[in-house]
Amino acid sequence: MHPLLTRPRQLGLYLLAWIPLAGILVYLLTGGGGLSLGEATALTVPLCLVYAFVCLAAWYPCRATPLEKSGFAKLLFTHLTAAAVLGTYWTYQAKELAIGLAHFWPRFAGLDQRLAKHIPLLWITGVLLYVMSVTFHYVLLAEQASREAQERAMHARVLARDAELKALRAQVNPHFLFNCLHSVSALTSSDAGKAREMCILLADFLRTTLRLGGKESITLEEELALVRGYLAIEKVRFGARLHMEEEVQKKSMEVLIPPLLLQPLVENAIRHGIANLPEGGVIRLSAQEEANVVTIVVENSFDPESPAPLKTGLGLDNIRQRLDTRYGPEASISVRTEGNRFQVSLRLPAESNGVLA
Amino acid sequence: MRAATDKKTRAVIVDDEELARQMLREFLSGHQEIEIVAECANGFEAVKAVTELKPDLVFLDIQMPKLDGFEVLELIGTERAVIFVTAYDEYAIRAFDIHAVDYLLKPFGAERFETALQRARQRLGGKLPAATELSSSARPPAQPLERIVVRDGTRVFIIPIAKLDYAEAQDDYVALASEGKKHLKQQTISSLESSLDPSRFLRIHRSYIVNLEKVTKVEPYSKDNHMVVLSNGTQLPVSRSGYSRLREFLDPARVK
């Protein structure tokens, strides 16, 4: 299907461009003597209206003989043949129309004879109009090609980002898994029930990670459930050393966030915070929404004397990149240390399903 | 253990996770010839226990509070047979295995545990050479030191690198000057030099390494010699080659 036929706005513009062309034709027919203004108009308007659509047919030979790939001879032959055929068709139509008008309207009697001397002019006009249409279509094709190229480039970028996001999500820490399995292994002889419980906690966590990781967005509530599952596992390892506090505003629970955004932060809080404290410490997670911005804070105790973590780097960089890809400058992440508290704050636009529902 | 030795092998378990300690206890319970003399949950306790109890064998976790396993190993020396027990990946741990008898990757089974124990027996029985001298620290050289750990008896001092004013060679030891105190560490000054960040520390003399951030001025001392003055007023001699290194460093910096 011709692209203009699916876009009414552009089709309208195309037809508008035919008005001056029709005007010129009226001028030529009256100027050469023979036809009155009324006769020329009565002929030209229906003729041009039909021919405007006929000329759209140039789309097909133009597409079949792309400018840069076809030889000059082939181009010339294709379009001149088509021009000659259509010019003849257009002249024939004009004649038929003149006969019809002369027959049905007394006012136009003898129009067909008066038109006869304009036949060569009409034929040349038909050919020229078709050639113009060919030019127009080559421009249209070039424009379409460049738009398609742009779209492909855009699509490629989107794909690259998707791949990157997938890679970032696939970040369940192997140390975490090995330590977990070691705990399970230790529990099998001392407390089989607890070993089983831990296996189930771990399976639930992994399954949820896989399920949520594949999504574009999840609610904060879902992410918090994942984080709690993760902490339940770590609690088996760290026992009384690990404390968790949550202060999450109820309405922020529905906010949509990228999956696995908070879990790596909580994991960092354990690895670089709690794990370095003989007596353990507290991880405090808070979230609140205000003026369409949700602020999520993960705070943990840490040992200021433990060697500066080269470490937090990677996890935080990933989160920063993910936020940047998705929200651009609307989201931010900031890190603060105060005494023996380490704090990461995320600010992001509060999108929610409620708006769509 | 071989019949010739009646004495039990004395072992210390170091891991911050109770379950991990429990696992080692369980595996060791089948060995009457091994006695667990202490269990430690962090690096400080480990250094204290090993120094006081002088065990034959140490099971040492790597990621722990206060001091990590590498730092503990550095402080307790190479007299004991050390088996690393860790969830670190094999690649990371291989870099250190010359200092340890073996390493157990969590989770491990009884069979792998027995192999490690076998190696420890050979080492204790003199069939395996003692670990090579800890040349600088147990850390890979690619990573400049961020802090220095020093043991004084059973006490451990941690000197963050930024607080180290200078180091002075004293026979087999280096004296580390920090916040008005000097700490002695059994290490050569050259090995210390190689583990420090060369953009922050400079060997100004056969016997001195200085923290460049602490240097306030360089003054002529005698006809051919110079000295540096640190922010706390300490004066250190600069050798002729040390002076040319110092000029290379300070001149472009001072111009800024």
Residues in a beta bridge with A296: A287, A346
pLDDT above 90 as % of chain A? 31
Residue among A223, A245, A217 nearest A349 (CA): A217
CA torsion B249-B250-B254-B256 (nearest 10°) is: 10
For residue A172, give the 3-state DSSP assignment.
coil
Burial of A46 (0-12, 13-18, 19+ CB in 10 A): middle
Comparing A65-79, B132-146, B203-217, which segment has the lowest mean pLDDT? Answer: B132-146
Phi, psi of A90 (to 5 degrees): -65, -40
In a domain, B129, yes or no: no
Task: Considering only the beta carbons, identify the residue of A179, A186, A303 that sits closest to B22.
Answer: A186
Contact assessment for residue A325 and residue A161, using Cβ atoms and an 8 Å cutoff: yes
- pLDDT beneath 50: ranges in chain A: 356-357
What's the maximum distance between 2 C-alpha atoms anywhere in chain A?
114
Instruction: For residue A183, list chain B residues with Cβ-Cβ distance below 8 A.
Output: 17, 19-20
Rounded CA-CA distance A92/B40 in Å is 105
- Type of residue numbered A28: L
Look at residues A2, A66, A30, A78 and name the one whose alpha carbon lies nearest to residue A86.
A78
Strands (E), B179-231: 181-186, 201-205, 208-211, 215-220, 226-230
Which of B75, B93, B124 is at the close of a domain?
B124
Rounded to a whole number of angstroms, the distance from the CA of A211 to the nearest CA of chain B is 26
Partners of A306 on chain B (C-beta within 8 Å) are: 65-66
- What is d(CA B20, CA B85) in angstroms, rounded to the nearest whole number? 9
Q: How far is CA A37 from the centre of its chain?
A: 53
* A30 interfacial to chain B (CB closer than 8 Å): no
B107 chain-A contacts, CB cut-off 8 A: 178, 181-182, 184-185
Domains along the sequence of chain A with CATH? 3-165 (no CATH), 170-356 (3.30.565.10)
Write out the residue range of the structural domain in which residue B53 sits.
Answer: 9-124
From CA A146, how far away is CA A309, in angstroms rounded?
49
Both B95 and B153 in one domain: the answer is no
pLDDT class of B127 with cuts at 50, 70, 90: low
User: Do B93 and B182 have their domain in common?
Assistant: no
Query: Which residues are within 8 A (CB) of A6 and not within 5 positions of it... i.e. 6 or more apart?
Result: none
- Does B113 lie in the same domain as B38? yes
Tell whether B175 and B102 lie within a shared domain: no
Residue B255, pLDDT score = 41
What is the predicted pLDDT for the residue at B98? 61
Min Cα–Cα distance to chain A from B240, Å = 35
CB contact under 8 A, B107 and A182: yes
pLDDT at residue B79 above 90? no
Query: What pLDDT shows up at residue A120?
Result: 85
Q: How many CB atoms lie within 10 A of CB A357?
A: 5
Q: Are B82 and B184 in a shared domain?
A: no
pTM: 0.66
Are both B62 and B159 inside the same structural domain?
no
- Out of A179, A187, A305, whose CB is closest to B106? A179
Cβ–Cβ contact B197 with A under 8 A: no
Is B131 within the bounds of a domain? no
DSSP-derived letter for residue A270 is I
pLDDT of residue A163: 61
Half-sphere exposure of A269 (CA within 13 A, CB side): 31
Is residue B26 one of the residues assigned to a domain?
A: yes
What's residue A319's pLDDT? 81
* 3-state SS, residue B39: strand
pLDDT of residue B50: 95
C-alpha B124/C-alpha A32 separation (Å) is 120
Cβ atoms of A134 and A58 closer than 8 Å:
yes
User: How far apart are the C-alpha atoms of A315 and A337, rounded to whole Å?
Assistant: 17
Q: Are residues B27 and B101 in the same domain?
A: yes
A213-270 pLDDT, tens digit per residue, is 778 889 999 999 999 999 999 999 899 999 999 999 998 999 999 888 898 899 889 9
Within 33-72 of B, beta carbons closer than 8 Å to A belong to: 41-42, 63-66
Pair type for strands B57-61 and B9-14 = parallel
Yes or no: say if B12 and B83 are a contact pair by the CB < 8 Å rule.
no
Q: Which CATH number do you get for residue B173?
A: 2.40.50.1020
Pick B99 or B231 by higher pLDDT.
Answer: B231
Strands A255-257 and A242-248: unpaired
Instruction: Spell A13-40 as b/e; 16+ CB within 10 A means b.
Output: ebeeebeebbeebbebbbeeebbeeebb
Same domain, B152 and B249: yes
Q: In total, how many domains does chain B have?
A: 2
- Interface residue A198 vs chain B (CB under 8 A): no
Q: Which residue has the higher pLDDT, B59 or B141?
A: B59
Is B17 at the interface with chain A, CB within 8 A?
yes
Q: How close A184 comes to chain B (CA, Å)?
A: 9
Q: What is the dihedral of CA B52, B56, B59, B64, to 10 degrees?
A: 20
Rounded alpha-carbon distances, angstroms, from residue A184 to A191, A242, B115, B187? 9, 18, 22, 41
Of A181, A271, A307, the CB nearest to B147: A307
Give the distance from residue A191's alpha carbon to the nearest chain B alpha carbon, in angstroms. 11
Per-residue pLDDT at B97:
58
Between CA B144 and CA B230, with CA B216 as vertex, the angle to 5 degrees is 70
β-strand pairing of B155-160 with B164-170: unpaired
DSSP 3-state assignment of B65? coil
Same domain, B152 and B112: no
Rounded Cα–Cα distance for residues A52 and A46 (Å)? 10
CB pairs under 8 A between A and B: 64
B17 with A183: Cβ contact below 8 A: yes
Strand partners, A220: none
The string of pLDDT tens digits covering residues B28-57 is: 999 999 999 999 999 999 999 999 999 999
Put simply, whether A305 touches B (Cβ < 8 Å) is yes
- CATH code: domain of residue B20: 3.40.50.2300
- Report how far apart, in Å, the C-alpha atoms of A160 and of each of A28, A148, A314, B81 are: 59, 18, 20, 51
- Contact yes or no for B66 and A308 at CB 8 A: no
Looking at the domain assignment, is residue B139 inside a domain? no
Taking CB atoms and an 8 Å limit, are A307 and B20 in contact across chains?
Answer: no
Among candidates B41, B87, B88 on the partner chain, residue whose Cβ is nearest the Cβ of A278 = B41
Calculate the CA dihedral of residues A255, A259, A261, A263 and round it to 10 degrees.
110
pLDDT given for residue B194 in this prediction: 87
Last residue of a domain, one of B124, B158, B183: B124
User: What's the average model confidence in pLDDT over B188-208?
Assistant: 91
- My answer on whether B82 and B156 are in the same domain is no
Distance from C-alpha of B148 to C-alpha of B136, rounded to nearest angstrom: 11
Look up residue A182 and give its two tokens: 């070691």
Q: Which amino acid is at B107?
A: P
Q: Which of A173, A180, A274, A276 to mutate to test the interface with B (most CBs of B within 10 A)?
A: A276
Q: Which of residues 70-129 of B touch A (CB under 8 A)?
A: 87-89, 105-109
Residue B151 lies in a domain: yes
Backbone angles phi, psi at B173, to 5 degrees: -115, 165
B147 in contact with A, Cβ within 8 Å: yes
Rounded to the nearest 10 degrees, the angle between the axes of helix A192-213 and helix A220-238 is 150
pLDDT of residue A155: 76
DSSP A211-229: HHHTSS-EEHHHHHHHHHH
Do B21 and B117 reside in the same domain of the chain?
Answer: yes
Going by the DSSP 8-state scheme, the letter that residue A6 receives in this structure is: G
Nearest to A30 by CA among A40, A22, A20: A40
Hey, is A344 helix, strand or coil? strand
Answer yes or no: is B138 within a domain.
no
Q: Inspect the interface and report whether the beta carbons of B42 and A278 lie closer than 8 Å.
A: yes
Q: How distant is the Cα of B37 from the closest Cα of chain A, in angstroms?
A: 20
Distance from CA of A208 to the nearest CA of B (A): 24
Chain A: closest CA distance from residue B67 (Å) = 8
- B98 with B173, same domain: the answer is no
Give me the residue label for tokens 């006769």. A39
Residue A60, token pair as written in the block? 């097909």
Distance CA A330, CA B55 (A): 59
Query: Looking at CA atoms only, how far is residue B225 from chain A in angstroms?
Result: 38
pLDDT at A312: 52
> Cβ of A182 and B23 within 8 Å?
yes
Quick one: closest CA in B to A304, which residue? B66
Beta strand A255-257 pairing with A293-301: unpaired
Complex ipTM value:
0.76
Q: Is residue B188 part of a domain?
A: yes
Measure CB to CB from residue A239 to each of B18, B107, B108 and give the nearest one: B18
Is residue B133 over pLDDT 80?
no
pLDDT band with cut points at 50, 70 and 90 for residue B256: very low
pLDDT recorded at residue B4: 47
State whether residue B238 sits within 8 Å of chain A by CB. Answer: no
pLDDT band at B80 (very low <50, low <70, confident <90, very high): confident
Structure tokens at B166: 């200078």
Instruction: Name the residue with tokens 């050469």.
Output: A32
Q: Is residue B115 part of a domain?
A: yes
C-alpha distance from B170 to closest chain A C-alpha (Å): 27
